[in-house]
Amino acid sequence: MKGNRTAPAQGDPDTADSKANGNTSTALHLTPRQRRALTALLERPRSREELDRIAGTSNSPDLVSRLRQRGVLILCEHVNHTDRDGVKGWHGVYRLPESEKQRLGGAL
């Protein structure tokens, strides 16, 4: 069967975004890397490179993706930049919304 591949609809009751607003009565079972990343994001927004160093990984987008799959709401802002060679590009800066900081603050 042929068809266009599309991203899943946002806001569906089964998406991570809706689960993230639930309650934290069930403890999050986090890996040490996930715990380090979330602790850093509770302090302030972090670039991908910062999360790599802090969490001890070389692929923080995958780490963030796995946290999102577990119901943690992590936002990513694309920030434009120009590199040392004058090439324009963008990089991601991850952050937790205030509601997520409140929800996770006591759970870590």
pLDDT in tens, 7-38: 444 443 333 433 444 444 346 789 999 999 99
Which pLDDT score, from 0 to 100, does residue 67 have? 96
* Residue 23 resides in a domain: no
Number of domains in the chain: 1
pLDDT of amino acid 10: 41
CATH code where residue 48 lies: 1.10.10.10
In a domain, 99, yes or no: yes
Structure tokens at 35: 């715990």
Residue 18, domain member (yes or no)? no
Establish if 68 belongs to a structural domain.
yes
Q: For 21, how many CA atoms within 13 A lie in the half-sphere containing its CB?
A: 8
pLDDT (tens digit, 9 = 90+) per residue, 90-103?
999 999 999 999 99
Residue 24 lies in a domain: no
Tell me, what DSSP letter sits at residue 12? -
Q: Which residue is it, tokens 């809706």?
A: 18
